[in-house]
Amino acid sequence: MKVWEEFLKVEGWSSQYPSVDVALKHYLRKTGSEKTRENFCIALRLFCLDAHTDPDGLVALAPSEAGRLCQAFTDKMLARGDSVRYLNVTQAYLRTFFDKNGFNEKELKIERYHQPARYRKRKEYNPDGEETERMAYASGSAKNRAMVLAAYTGGLRNSTLRAVRYGDVREELEAGKTVVRIPVSPEMKAMDKAACKGNIPYYTFISPESVSALKDYLEERRQKFGDVEDDEPLFCSDSNNLTPDQQRVTPVSKNGFDQMVKRAARLGGLKQWRDVTPKCLRTAFESALRSNKLDKGDQEFLMGHILPGTQDPYYDSSKVEQLRTEYMGVAFFKKAQVDIVEMTKRFAESLGAKNVEVKIAKMREKHRDMNELEAVGRILREELGLQPLTVEPGLKRKANGQDSQSGKRFESKIVSEDELVGCIEANWEIVKELKNGRIVVRRNLD
């Protein structure tokens, strides 16, 4: 039982205090939001402590005294440095409490605090695609990388991302979808009470980069815990205070995700890393949708916002594939760079390099200012034993495969040990043996 539940004698949407009970019933009818219930109760408890009475004692006060105590309470919060928005929200909760207990709002005489347009006490910095990519690769693990990329390319709120279950994405992952749908529904509140804001069901997607990172994480998780069950959180806790069996069924904590994102921003070299939060990644997602001129209604739906009129049914199951196609056109990252990187990765794998993705992540953790393409290049050189081209005295080779000293033309290729015998019989000569056991050979064309 939480402190405020015990203090206000709350169980669910009921309270043994009649004054609290009537207010809770109002919020149940109005929103049914667990987060609203919790915030209201927290504010009311603090006010009771400040006024040295219980809730029923508050409603027994004269309206003028109740108003005076409310004003004094929020003035103390202001002096303490709390944000103007928080003060006005707290006042709104207290006004509702007194209003539902028969008080006339005019009699309370509580003055609101001036809140400038677009007021925000806490600074926020919204990273762009390149900065988010740096954050992801500096985040320290496959799980962290997948969470950063999913938060950015899916626009999911902190609570929502942490409430996604493996079963929500299993079917599309197993089907090999490059862009995976993430459904959001009120049922997710069983995992986190704030998971589905306003009880608005919707769905969004995560990009190919996010899907690749997610698969890497799930593979690591299976090695640690075995098969992942459908009802387990997609991103489970790794707290040392929990047993392995507890870890796999416990979602990442809100503060844990907050701190991880901030740490990733710092390690990724963002100058304003202190101002980066999971909410900033969601805002960056919105900017990416807007920059790519996605239909306004589609933007609002993918953000989980309320749509005007009767637009919601338009986004039922029949719309999914159309919206998936439109989503795939959103450039979250620099596409030209991504294509080059992917081709280079495939080339490295074709030459025998193993676990390229894992090695890239480790390389970028070591060298925070290195981009992905530079990391692949270094891995290619180190893994395959390749060195930058040098010109030795007395021997020069032209790029077209002609030895300038002898004037002969030649062709080169990389083969396995099994292929080597056949190559030698076909007049190929060994040039160099690579670290991975493959061999560079060449033969004269003249």
Q: What is the pLDDT of residues 64-75, one digit of tens each?
A: 999 999 999 999
Are 210 and 150 contacting, i.e. CB atoms less than 8 angstroms apart? Answer: yes
Predicted confidence at residue 439, as pLDDT, reads 74
User: Residue 46 falls within a domain, yes or no?
Assistant: yes
Q: Of the candidates 327, 319, 297, which has an alpha carbon nearest to the alpha carbon of residue 211?
A: 327
Q: Is residue 414's pLDDT more than 70?
A: yes
User: Residue 223 falls within a domain, yes or no?
Assistant: yes
Distant-in-sequence, close-in-space partners of 187: CB < 8 Å, separation ≥ 6: 196
User: Residue 116 falls within a domain, yes or no?
Assistant: no
pLDDT digits (tens, 9 = 90+) for 126-157: 999 889 988 998 888 899 999 999 999 999 99
User: Residue 121 falls within a domain, yes or no?
Assistant: no
Show the tokens assigned to 20.
């609290």
Examine the domain organization and report whether 213 and 287 are in the same domain: yes
Q: Is residue 33's pLDDT more than 70?
A: yes
Are 180 and 173 contacting, i.e. CB atoms less than 8 angstroms apart? Answer: yes
pLDDT digits (tens, 9 = 90+) for 319-372: 888 889 899 888 898 654 555 666 667 666 766 777 877 888 888 777 766 777
Are 394 and 405 contacting, i.e. CB atoms less than 8 angstroms apart? Answer: yes
Examine the domain organization and report whether 171 and 285 are in the same domain: yes
Predicted confidence at residue 404, as pLDDT, reads 44
Examine the domain organization and report whether 342 and 325 are in the same domain: no
Q: Is residue 265's pLDDT more than 50?
A: yes
User: Residue 114 falls within a domain, yes or no?
Assistant: no
Q: Of the candidates 123, 146, 124, 121, which has an alpha carbon nearest to the alpha carbon of residue 264?
A: 146
User: Residue 351 falls within a domain, yes or no?
Assistant: yes
Q: Is 117 helix (H, G, I), strand (E, B) or coil?
A: coil
Q: Total structural domains in the chain?
A: 4
Q: Of the candidates 366, 375, 376, 373, which has an alpha carbon nearest to the alpha carbon of residue 138?
A: 366
**Rounded-to-integer distance, Cα 396 and Cα 373, Å:** 29
Examine the domain organization and report whether 205 and 97 are in the same domain: no
**Rounded-to-integer distance, Cα 142 and Cα 148, Å:** 10
Q: Which residue has the tokens 């990172």?
A: 213
Examine the domain organization and report whether 37 and 159 are in the same domain: no
Predicted confidence at residue 351, as pLDDT, reads 65
Q: Is 205 helix (H, G, I), strand (E, B) or coil?
A: strand
Residue 221 has φ and ψ, to the nearest 5°, of -65, -40
The arithmetic mean of pLDDT across residues 439-444, rounded, is 76
* Rounded CA Rg of the chain: 30
Reported for 197-202, long-range contacts at CB under 8 A and 24+ positions apart, including other chains, are 197/33, 197/157, 197/160, 197/304, 198/31, 198/33, 198/306, 199/32, 199/33, 200/304, 200/305, 200/306, 202/301, 202/302, 202/304, 202/315
Examine the domain organization and report whether 30 and 149 are in the same domain: no
- pTM (predicted TM-score): 0.61
Q: Which residue has the higher pLDDT, 99 or 434?
A: 99
pLDDT digits (tens, 9 = 90+) for 299-312: 989 998 876 655 55
Tell me which amino acid residue 133 is.
Answer: E
| Domain CATH for 318 | 1.10.443.10
**Rounded-to-integer distance, Cα 188 and Cα 194, Å:** 9
Tell me which amino acid residue 239 is.
Answer: S
Examine the domain organization and report whether 58 and 135 are in the same domain: no
Predicted confidence at residue 277, as pLDDT, reads 94
Give the confidence band of 115 by pLDDT, cuts at 50, 70, 90: confident
User: Residue 421 falls within a domain, yes or no?
Assistant: yes
Examine the domain organization and report whether 52 and 199 are in the same domain: no
The arithmetic mean of pLDDT across residues 246-271, rounded, is 92
Identify the domain containing residue 280 by its residue range: 129-332
Examine the domain organization and report whether 365 and 446 are in the same domain: no
Predicted confidence at residue 192, as pLDDT, reads 87
Examine the domain organization and report whether 51 and 14 are in the same domain: yes
Predicted confidence at residue 400, as pLDDT, reads 37
Give the confidence band of 97 by pLDDT, cuts at 50, 70, 90: very high
Examine the domain organization and report whether 92 and 160 are in the same domain: no
Average pLDDT of the residues of the chain: 83
Examine the domain organization and report whether 146 and 245 are in the same domain: yes
Question: Burial, 143: exposed, middle or buried (Cβ in 10 Å; 0-12, 13-18, 19+)?
Answer: buried
